Amino acid sequence: MLSIIIPLYNESETLAHALDQTFSFLRTHFGENFEIILIDDASLDGTFEELGRLIQSYSPHLCHVIHNLKNKGKGHSIAQGVKEAKGDWIFFMDSDLSTPLRFILPFIDQLKKGADIVIASRFEKSSKITTPRSLTLSFLSWAERMLIRLIANLWYSDTQCGFKAFRGDVAKKLFAQSRIERFCFDVEILFLAKRLKLKIETYPVEWLHGKNSKVRLIDPVIFVRDLLRIRWYAWRGFYQ
């Protein structure tokens, strides 16, 4: 059983294409032995209404929709999805399909071979970035990686790519403890996994930078704040 979690925020224009591609791929490779969990994080562009219309075209019993009345953040949305997921393997990915769906298959192979978590990396030698990011975003990404190594002591080549796979029981254990609700949640989850000495594999992927970036000027400040919160929570013993 495979669970795919897709967080959504203002995705009405690209949602139809993403769902069509995702359902087609999963039906081809998994029959009906999968579920898609979509979390609308209080979108302002009619994403939730569009989602309700679209899933009637597929198999509604394979698709679960969660609607947040207030914007909570990507980390909060994915934690909601993990809580609802029934799969032996749990993935989360971005709705713009920046990482092609075909990478689901080698990620599952890594889980079958004993990995607890498989994280996508855009920065391995064999990774391929199809559409380069701007110099500003590239610098912010580099600065993020340096801060993550300095503050969280995580030396993975890419903690922030929105394509990760977990054994189902591992995902539920980690996200039950998570406290970071916005985009630093990836760091928190890997920080917790490292404390538990879980087996984390990095896998190089192809990556296409989405045109509709949602990065705001305040986001780097929030990111640093949340990095420090992770260390504070650990020091105070808030994590089991």
Q: Where are the domains of the chain?
A: 2-236
pLDDT at 126 > cutoff 60: yes
Beta strand pairing call for 117-121 and 34-41: unpaired
Class of domain 2-236: alpha beta
Written in H, E and C, the secondary structure of the chain is CEEEEEEECCCCCCHHHHHHHHHHHHHHHHCCCEEEEEEEECCCCCHHHHHHHHHHHCCHHHEEEEEECCCCCHHHHHHHHHHHCCCCEEEEECCCCCCCHHHHHHHHHHHHCCCCEEEEECCCCCCEEEECCCHHHHHHHHHHHHHHHHHHCCCCCCCCCCEEEEEHHHHHHHHHHCCCCCCCHHHHHHHHHHHCCCCEEEEECEEECCCCCCCCCCHHHHHHHHHHHHHHHHHHCCCC
pLDDT at 211 > cutoff 70: no
pLDDT (0 to 100) of residue 58: 78
Confidence of residue 32 (pLDDT cuts 50, 70, 90): very high
Q: What is the pLDDT of residues 140-183, one digit of tens each?
A: 888 999 999 999 999 999 999 999 999 999 999 999 999 999 98
For residue 30, the one-letter residue type is F
Residue 2 half-sphere exposure toward CB, CA atoms < 13 A: 23
121 vs 127: CA distance, rounded Å: 7
pLDDT at 213 > cutoff 70: no
Name the more confident of 66 and 137. 66
Region of poorest pLDDT, from 67-71, 125-129, 175-179:
125-129
Q: What is the mean pLDDT of the chain?
A: 92
Name 134's Cβ contacts closer than 8 Å, sequence gap at least 6: none
5, 92 in Cβ contact below 8 A? yes
Both structure tokens of 225: 């704040």
Averaged pLDDT, 61-74: 94
171 vs 191: CA distance, rounded Å: 13
Instruction: State the CB neighbour count (10 A cutoff) for residue 109.
Output: 12
Confidence of residue 214 (pLDDT cuts 50, 70, 90): low
pLDDT at 209 > cutoff 90: no
